[in-house]
């Protein structure tokens, strides 16, 4: 990586990903302490992220009506924090960070043709990024207003530039279809496990396609703005479900762009996500990012599971792997700017608020709820649990009060209007039932509080109630803990909020649907001993103050940068794409060519990962790609070309597909060989034992019965159990169970190799590999053809298991290198070759009547030796192969010892057509 400080030979250089991240963490801490010291010396050097000037002479005001759901995790309030833009010498010194979210942190209101009022709309995401000083941040998003005229767009762009914001201009129709339609009516309910009534679901289905098209169009518009402002080296951080298509759009434009994507809501289980019609497209688009982040491990696990179950990709501890390309998936719990809350408690205005509240509720315990008025926040469940508590604990009725702050959102939506009426009805009923002339048990506010009033309320609260039915994180719980240094109140937290993963040890976790459980938890919290409250608070306070919003953002970008380093290191191990022109040109210039071709996934048609529309049957009975029939005919009839199909498949399958061609067929990894004009021969060594077959067969049959959609193949030298079409996670568990059983039972003392594919288990005799067989196959081909001219061109193509990739290294010419090359078999006439001895039949294969009819390579007593066939002066070797005339290609398997890579069997078709025509 150019300019990468890790690419040096210093022994202290971190070599592993963990070492690099630990060093980066220490550097961040060091830089932060330096910044704090400098700011203490000169407080005036701090520059606000969105600028210091007021906008057009107007004061900045709150506007929560347009706050996105991805910004709603924190309490409704407004604050701005500083962000240092330059180093001590006035020079820009930070990595640029392009934050791309659906909404800008400001809402624009037009006051004239070229005049705009900008209102700050701050939520969890904005507060998380405002305090991050390690990066030079720019914010890209929609300003919340339709600007159809160019004059207005220019004026708004200029006004936002002063706040380091860049607008994306969306028209009303796009906003209606993309934001109100697809985002809020389809994705948001789905991600929060909210089921739609059947009639609404049908109506949504009818309008789905137009909304999805608008969603993709809007994402492309965001991408166009990012591409316009992107500079090399920038980090692009995409946020939330509004922009799931953005990573793919960005990578298509510039594959080297550093792209991260973070979801601020829950990600549902794969069973929920698979009901979405566009499920696959969205997952593939997100996987284009380099790093995908979630609040909790559960959400990350659900995402990886959806990719494996729906896309058929490989889930790993690191993330999701697709043809060698790894997308890292990890959990990054967001935090708050805890210092701001701690400092706020010392402000005289906040202390005055606290004094008033203590006097107002003197003699009563204060319980608090702060939520958006939304279906997922569980406000009705919370109030009903409080009613249950009052019913069961009459002595507490005049000693406790519940303060519920419910900020209205989406007031124009019928479901939200219905929820508001429902909450008001429940509150009125409880207050009428348990209230007195001087006091009521519930104080319900349908509005937001300013920051100072909210901090004061947090500080005087004895018990905080968070009863979310589903919540990405819920930072209200964090804010409550940050303000409780004196009171050390108790947090009752829903287990369905992401914060339960972080604060679960110090909070009382509850199931909000269980009203009785929540009521008893309220009683336990109000009666909790002081020492227990102290311990719980200290645990939570330590987490909240160390896992801050600034640390969250810095950690994500640091991991993203390191993911790029890892990807570059991994890419160096990936073979380059085959230079087809060079391969065809060398082929034309050579005189004696050898083509070794795999079969499955090489000469067959590509099949979908999940085998839909009959794909599973096709793959179980593989057929030659129809476009390859003519090219293979021409190549096999060329006297200068020898074609070998080398496959792990059974002989019958190769017979069915290639009997009409003049070529060599090597079945079961080369253990059986024939020229299509002749009979099958065995190349198996005499010492190959197969006594283990029956016992392994019984095990494979057992696991096939237990694993739906799996199957096994009984071959003469191996057995293969394949679970590609089974449930991926269940298949892996079954494979692990099978391996444990095999190693402790049937094969514990047998001379066998267990070869694990991505979704298969194969048991074969020791020494059965394509590389081991090719030496014997080559000897037979040379003998049969009476070959005198040396082989001067080899093309070896296949989708082979790693165990069989020794066929690539067998032909590798000895090239100058720093380390000695691995030993390999080369037949030369300077040393008399000694071909292995072969038997007429395999000891363990007597159960097959076909094997008794075949001719063995070593069974012909009149077969001339190599020295008889080739005199000393005819050629220098069997393989007179120069480095530039050898092309080994892996098909679709990027981690390979082959020299080159072909993406799929379609590329094989293109290559063989060009060879045939050349």
- Tell me: the pLDDT tens digits for 475-510? 999 999 999 999 999 999 999 999 999 998 899 999
Q: Do 601 and 713 have their domain in common? A: no
Nearest to 284 by CA among 316, 246, 239, 339: 246
Task: Please give the mean pLDDT across all residues of the chain.
Answer: 81
Q: Do 394 and 316 have their domain in common? A: no
Q: Do 537 and 587 have their domain in common? A: no
CA pair distance 543, 502, nearest whole angstrom: 8
Domain count, the chain: 4
Confidence of residue 293 (pLDDT cuts 50, 70, 90): very high
Is the full-model pTM beyond 0.85? no
567 is a domain residue: no
Q: Do 715 and 758 have their domain in common? A: yes
pLDDT digits (tens, 9 = 90+) for 569-592: 776 667 888 999 999 999 999 999
In the predicted structure, residue 815 carries a pLDDT above the cut 50: no
- The CATH number for 679's domain is 3.40.50.1000
614 is a domain residue: no
pLDDT digits (tens, 9 = 90+) for 147-192: 988 999 999 999 999 888 999 999 999 999 999 889 988 999 999 9
Q: What is the DSSP letter of 857?
A: G
151 is a domain residue: yes
Confidence of residue 633 (pLDDT cuts 50, 70, 90): very high
432 is a domain residue: yes
pLDDT digits (tens, 9 = 90+) for 346-374: 999 999 999 999 999 999 999 999 999 99
Pick from 58-62, 99-103, 320-324, 810-814: least confident: 58-62
pLDDT digits (tens, 9 = 90+) for 230-251: 999 899 999 999 999 999 999 9
207-211: average pLDDT: 87
Which one of 331, 366, 390 terminates a domain?
Answer: 331
Confidence of residue 73 (pLDDT cuts 50, 70, 90): very low
Which one of 765, 790, 822 terminates a domain?
Answer: 765
Percent of the chain with pLDDT over 70: 80
836 is a domain residue: no
pLDDT of 854 reads 35
In the predicted structure, residue 37 carries a pLDDT above the cut 60: no
pLDDT of 814 reads 54
pLDDT of 117 reads 85
- The CATH number for 760's domain is 3.90.1070.10
In the predicted structure, residue 667 carries a pLDDT above the cut 70: yes
In the predicted structure, residue 395 carries a pLDDT above the cut 90: yes
pLDDT digits (tens, 9 = 90+) for 757-776: 878 999 988 878 888 888 88
In the predicted structure, residue 739 carries a pLDDT above the cut 70: yes
Greatest alpha-carbon span in the chain: 118
CA pair distance 471, 499, nearest whole angstrom: 8
Which one of 331, 357, 387 terminates a domain?
Answer: 331
Confidence of residue 601 (pLDDT cuts 50, 70, 90): confident
Percent of the chain with pLDDT over 90: 47
pLDDT of 337 reads 87
pLDDT of 370 reads 95
CA pair distance 773, 777, nearest whole angstrom: 6
pLDDT digits (tens, 9 = 90+) for 498-550: 999 999 889 999 999 999 999 999 999 999 999 999 999 999 999 999 998 88
pLDDT digits (tens, 9 = 90+) for 607-630: 654 444 444 444 567 788 889 999
CA pair distance 389, 463, nearest whole angstrom: 14
Q: Do 677 and 781 have their domain in common? A: yes
- The CATH number for 244's domain is 3.40.50.2000
720-728: average pLDDT: 87
Phi, psi of 756 (to 5 degrees): -100, 120
pLDDT of 345 reads 94
324-335: average pLDDT: 90
pLDDT of 467 reads 96
Q: Do 343 and 283 have their domain in common? A: no
Q: Do 377 and 523 have their domain in common? A: yes
368-397: average pLDDT: 95
User: Contact 682/672 with Cβ under 8 angstroms?
Assistant: yes
CA pair distance 676, 444, nearest whole angstrom: 86
Give the per-residue SS3 of 606-621.
CCCCCCCCCHHHHHHC
Q: Do 644 and 744 have their domain in common? A: no
CA pair distance 479, 846, nearest whole angstrom: 76
Which one is predicted more confidently, 36 or 866? 36
pLDDT of 201 reads 63
315 is a domain residue: yes
Q: Do 602 and 727 have their domain in common? A: no
User: Contact 68/242 with Cβ under 8 angstroms?
Assistant: yes
In the predicted structure, residue 10 carries a pLDDT above the cut 80: no
Q: Do 153 and 219 have their domain in common? A: yes
90 is a domain residue: no
Nearest to 497 by CA among 642, 380, 330, 334: 334
In the predicted structure, residue 646 carries a pLDDT above the cut 90: yes
Nearest to 270 by CA among 306, 245, 294, 315: 306
Angle at 548 between CA 546 and CA 552, to 5 degrees: 115
Q: Do 446 and 479 have their domain in common? A: yes
Range of the domain at 128: 96-331
Q: Do 395 and 380 have their domain in common? A: yes
Angle at 498 between CA 495 and CA 502, to 5 degrees: 90
890-895: average pLDDT: 80
Angle at 828 between CA 823 and CA 830, to 5 degrees: 110
Confidence of residue 787 (pLDDT cuts 50, 70, 90): confident
867-896: average pLDDT: 65
553 is a domain residue: no
608, 700, 761 from 704: Cα distances, Å: 22, 6, 12
pLDDT of 62 reads 32
Q: What is the DSSP letter of 144?
A: S
């Amino acid at each position: 990586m150019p300019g990468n400080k890790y690419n040096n030979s210093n022994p202290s250089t971190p070599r592993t990903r963990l070492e690099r991240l630990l060093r980066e963490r220490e550097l961040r801490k060091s830089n932060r302490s330096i910044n704090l010291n400098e700011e203490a010396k000169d407080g005036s050097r701090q520059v606000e992220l969105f600028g210091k000037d007021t906008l057009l002479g107007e004061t900045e005001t709150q506007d929560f009506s347009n706050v996105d759901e991805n910004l709603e995790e924190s309490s409704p309030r407004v604050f701005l924090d500083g962000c240092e833009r330059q180093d001590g010498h006035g020079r820009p010194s930070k990595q640029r960070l392009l934050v791309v979210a659906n909404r800008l942190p400001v809402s624009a209101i037009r006051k004239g043709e070229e005049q705009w009022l900008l209102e700050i709309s701050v939520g969890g995401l904005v507060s998380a990024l405002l305090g991050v000083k390690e990066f030079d941040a720019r914010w890209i998003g929609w300003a919340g207003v339709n600007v159809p005229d160019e004059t207005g767009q220019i004026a708004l762009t200029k006004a936002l530039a002063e706040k380091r914001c860049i607008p994306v201009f969306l028209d009303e129709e796009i906003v209606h279809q993309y934001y109100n339609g697809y985002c809020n009516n389809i994705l948001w309910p789905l991600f929060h496990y909210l089921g739609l009534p059947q009639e609404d679901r049908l109506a949504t289905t009818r309008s789905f396609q137009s909304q999805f098209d608008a969603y993709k169009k809007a994402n492309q518009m965001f991408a166009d703005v990012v591409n316009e402002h992107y500079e090399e080296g920038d980090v692009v951080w995409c946020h939330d479900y509004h922009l799931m298509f953005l990573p793919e759009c960005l990578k298509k434009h510039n594959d080297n762009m550093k792209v991260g994507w973070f979801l601020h809501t829950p990600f549902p289980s794969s069973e929920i996500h698979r009901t979405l019609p566009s499920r696959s497209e969205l997952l593939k688009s997100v996987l284009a990012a380099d790093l995908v982040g979630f609040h909790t491990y559960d959400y990350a696990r659900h995402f990886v599971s959806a990719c494996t179950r729906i896309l058929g990709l490989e889930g790993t501890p690191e993330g999701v792997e697709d043809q060698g390309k790894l997308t890292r998936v990890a959990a990054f719990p967001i935090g708050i700017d805890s210092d701001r809350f701690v400092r706020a408690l010392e402000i005289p205005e906040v202390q005055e608020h606290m004094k008033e509240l203590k006097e107002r509720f003197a003699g009563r315990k204060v319980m608090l709820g702060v939520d958006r008025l939304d279906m997922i926040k569980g406000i009705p469940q919370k109030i009903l649990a409080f009613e249950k508590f009052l019913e069961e604990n009459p002595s507490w009725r005049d000693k406790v009060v519940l303060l519920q702050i419910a900020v209205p959102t989406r007031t124009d939506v019928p479901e939200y209007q219905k929820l508001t009426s429902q909450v008001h009805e429940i509150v009125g009923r409880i207050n009428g039932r348990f209230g007195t002339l001087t006091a009521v048990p519930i104080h319900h506010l349908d509005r937001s509080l300013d920051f100072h009033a909210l901090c004061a309320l947090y500080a005087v609260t004895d018990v905080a109630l968070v009863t979310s039915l589903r919540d990405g994180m819920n930072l209200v719980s964090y804010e409550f803990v940050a303000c409780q240094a004196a009171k050390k109140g108790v947090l009752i937290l829903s287990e369905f909020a992401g914060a339960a993963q972080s604060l679960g040890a110090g909070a009382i976790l509850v199931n909000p649907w269980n009203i009785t459980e929540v009521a008893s938890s309220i009683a336990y919290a109000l009666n909790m001993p002081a020492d227990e409250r102290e311990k719980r608070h200290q645990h939570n306070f330590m987490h909240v103050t160390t896992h801050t919003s600034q640390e969250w953002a810095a950690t994500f970008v640091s991991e993203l940068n390191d993911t790029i380093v890892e990807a570059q290191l991994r890419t160096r191990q990936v073979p380059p794409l085959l230079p087809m022109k060079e391969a065809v040109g060398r082929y034309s210039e050579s005189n004696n060519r050898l083509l070794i071709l795999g079969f499955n996934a090489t000469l067959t048609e590509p099949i979908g990962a999940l085998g839909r529309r009959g794909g599973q049957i096709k793959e179980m009975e593989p057929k030659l790609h129809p476009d390859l029939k003519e090219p293979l005919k021409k190549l096999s009839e060329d006297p200068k070309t020898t074609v070998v199909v080398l496959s792990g498949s059974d002989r019958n399958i190769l017979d069915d597909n290639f009997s009409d061609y003049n070529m060599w067929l090597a079945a079961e990894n080369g253990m059986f060989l024939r020229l299509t004009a002749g009979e099958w021969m065995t190349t198996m060594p005499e010492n190959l034992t197969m006594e283990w077959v029956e016992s392994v067969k019984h095990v494979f049959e057992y696991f096939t019965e237990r694993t739906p959609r799996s199957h096994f193949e009984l071959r003469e030298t191996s057995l293969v159990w394949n679970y590609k079409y089974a449930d991926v996670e269940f298949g892996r568990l079954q494979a692990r169970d099978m391996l444990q059983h095999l190693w402790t039972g049937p094969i514990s003392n047998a001379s066998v190799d267990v070869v694990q594919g991505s979704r298969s288990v194969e048991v074969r005799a020791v020494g059965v590999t394509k590389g081991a067989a090719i030496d014997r196959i080559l000897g037979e081909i040379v003998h049969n053809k009476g070959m005198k001219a040396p082989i001067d061109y080899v093309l070896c193509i296949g989708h082979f298991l790693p165990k069989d990739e020794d066929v690539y290294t067998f032909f590798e010419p000895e090239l100058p290198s720093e380390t000695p090359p691995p030993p390999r078999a080369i037949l030369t006439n300077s040393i008399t070759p000694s071909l292995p001895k072969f038997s007429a039949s395999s000891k363990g294969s007597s159960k097959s009547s076909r094997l008794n009819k075949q001719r063995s390579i070593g069974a012909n007593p009149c077969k001339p030796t190599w020295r008889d066939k080739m005199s000393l002066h005819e050629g220098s070797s069997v393989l007179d192969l120069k480095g530039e005339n050898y092309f080994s290609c892996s098909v679709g398997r990027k981690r390979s010892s082959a020299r080159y890579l072909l993406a799929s069997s379609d590329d094989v078709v293109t290559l063989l057509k060009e060879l045939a025509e050349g």
